[in-house]
Amino acid sequence: MTIEGARTSPSGSEAPTVDALTIGRRIRHLRTARKMTLDDLAAAVDRAPSQLSMIETGKREPKLSLLQAIARALGVTIDAVLEAEPLDDRTSMEIALERAMRGPTFHALGIAPFRIGKSVPDEALAALLSLQREIERLTDERSATPEEARRANVDLRHLMRRQDNYFPELEAQARQILDAVDHPGGPLTQRTASDIAAHLGFSLHYVADLPASTRSVADLRHGRLYLSSTVPAKGDSRTAVLQALASRILGHSEPRSYADFLRQRVETNYLTGALLVPEAHAVPFLHDAKERRAISIEDLRDAYSVSYETAAHRFTNLATEHLGIRVHFLKVHESGTITKAYENDDVNFPADRLGSIEGQLCCRRWTSRVVFDIPDKFNPYYQYTDTGQGTFWCTARVEASSEGAHSVSVGVRFDDTKWFIGRETTNRGISRHSVEVCCRRAPAELEGAWRDQAWPNVRTPRTLLATLPSGSFPGVDTTDLYEFLDAHAPRTGA
């Protein structure tokens, strides 16, 4: 029999479990208090000193018979040896640090366990334990659970709504950068993107072996920015460059939490959009379109040679601040799941109990879902939708991505439709998801026929059941990253 389950309470139930490390340290304390050497105790119990050393350091779990012999040799009861309460502060700290050294935190940091000698000051032990606890706290913060991620998303969306999705400090930084490279206005060329990189001290290098978990890699030591030599279909090489540089322009440091990581990502995307579609040039363009009652996301896209999604995002940045138009934006996966959302026009999107919109199913009758069934993929789709919150007009397009097709839509309240191309559409829908079941439940006839006869194998999103990737750069394999940088770093004398 080992020490596991060796003690019971008076009622017969097991007392709190004590581990081998705690018992080993208690034996050492009792032995040294009686001025016995390890050899003395070993001779008394007829064991090798090395065996007792393994027990005292917690590396071996003793059998109950040996513990009884040790207790007799030390002149104490077996209960004194198995006592779970710490002996003193010093011993408690040593035991805690021993456990920490055997745990995942030290292992992940590559710190090998070391012997805690008597010469190690108490203050040093306390400092090491404090550092270990802080590292674990930061790790826990960065390993955001799906619920924490949704809360962070909700908080950020509320901030965007309060500011009408307009951030003047980011607009100002974009202006400074564009002025520094003498950008004349209009579409930002690939050459201008390279000029911005040079202005910030980076040279561009296109490689075929970029780590799979990255879009770009910046070598801050040598001022080199690595990008993929293969541009995906419908991709924009300027966007990859500007997104990589945006974090340097914004002075981003290692995120302290998932909320920090999410905010930095939003800031990066905003600044990239502000560089591609400069405020100083886009606002007069949009004012002219409004005067002609001809606002069009497609025209904004074409004028600045950006993707439809970038044009839609940029319109939400500028519409309320400069045109006095409140808007909403939706990005919906072909499965019906909302992946991005923004509104300041009081449209009612489906939300969970935390208020999170992302991850919810979009109403089947909303423009963002209907557009998937429209055969004409070349022209934008327009629709009026009557809801419990009023009537809204939307324009939407379907775009392909590596994760499947997505619809991107921008909409306004009925009163603001007069400013937009597509207001004459006869397409109409009715969505009541905000006030009743609407499309969230299958028609009664179908449900009655199939409810007990269907069993789908659900394609569960990875982040639904697992924590989000942790680390300095969530989702990035840092071994791949550092091996890549080491392989591509310029060599001295080369």
According to the model, what pLDDT value does residue 302 have? 96
* DSSP per-residue letters across 367-430: HHHHGGG-S--SS-EEEEEEETTEEEEEEEEEE--TT--EEEEEEEEGGGGGGBTTTT---EEE
Q: Look at the block and give the residue holding tokens 């940088």.
A: 485
In a domain, 454, yes or no: no
Of 333, 314, 28, 357, the residue nearest 174 (C-alpha): 314
Residue 359 contacts residue 338 (beta carbons within 8 Å): yes
Tens-digit pLDDT profile for the chain (494 aa)? 344 444 333 333 333 446 777 888 888 888 888 899 999 999 999 999 888 888 888 878 888 889 899 999 999 888 888 876 656 788 888 888 888 887 777 877 778 888 888 888 999 989 998 988 888 776 665 555 667 777 888 899 999 999 999 999 999 999 999 999 999 888 899 999 999 999 999 999 999 999 888 888 999 999 999 998 876 545 678 998 999 899 889 988 877 777 888 899 999 999 999 999 999 999 999 999 999 999 999 999 999 999 999 999 999 999 999 999 999 999 999 988 999 999 999 998 888 777 888 888 888 899 999 999 999 988 999 999 999 889 999 999 999 877 789 999 999 999 999 999 999 999 999 987 765 556 666 777 877 787 777 777 655 454 444 445 555 566 677 788 888 888 998 886 54
According to the model, what pLDDT value does residue 10 have? 35
Query: Do 300 and 415 have their domain in common?
Result: yes
Query: Do 300 and 444 have their domain in common?
Result: yes
Query: Do 126 and 201 have their domain in common?
Result: no
In a domain, 97, yes or no: yes
In the chain, the number of structural domains is: 3
Residue 27 contacts residue 55 (beta carbons within 8 Å): yes
According to the model, what pLDDT value does residue 80 have? 80
Which residue among 92, 107, 140 closes a domain? 140
In a domain, 322, yes or no: yes
CA quadruple 241, 244, 248, 250: dihedral positive or negative? positive
Domain that holds residue 114: 20-140
Residue 308 contacts residue 314 (beta carbons within 8 Å): no
In a domain, 472, yes or no: no
Query: Do 316 and 440 have their domain in common?
Result: yes
Of 141, 56, 142, 132, the residue nearest 100 (C-alpha): 132
What six digits make up the tokens of 459? Answer: 């394609």
In a domain, 477, yes or no: no
Query: Do 339 and 436 have their domain in common?
Result: yes
Query: Do 219 and 251 have their domain in common?
Result: yes
* CA separation for the pair 351, 335 (Å, rounded): 17
Query: Do 306 and 443 have their domain in common?
Result: yes
Residue 351 contacts residue 360 (beta carbons within 8 Å): yes
According to the model, what pLDDT value does residue 59 have? 79
For residue 186, the number of C-alpha atoms closer than 13 Å in the C-beta half-sphere is 3
CATH of the domain at 310: 3.30.450.20
DSSP 8-class letter at 438: G
**Directed axis angle between helix 64-74 and helix 38-45, to 10°?**
120
Query: Do 116 and 178 have their domain in common?
Result: no
Query: Do 388 and 303 have their domain in common?
Result: yes
Phi, psi of 478 (to 5 degrees): -70, -25
* CA separation for the pair 475, 473 (Å, rounded): 6
Strand partners, 381: 396
Which residue among 140, 166, 198 closes a domain? 140
Query: Do 92 and 61 have their domain in common?
Result: yes
What six digits make up the tokens of 134? Answer: 């802080």
In a domain, 286, yes or no: no
Query: Do 426 and 344 have their domain in common?
Result: yes
According to the model, what pLDDT value does residue 169 have? 96
In a domain, 284, yes or no: no
CATH of the domain at 237: 1.10.10.2910
Total number of residues shown for the chain: 494
CATH of the domain at 125: 1.10.260.40
Which residue among 248, 276, 304 closes a domain? 276
Query: Do 80 and 187 have their domain in common?
Result: no
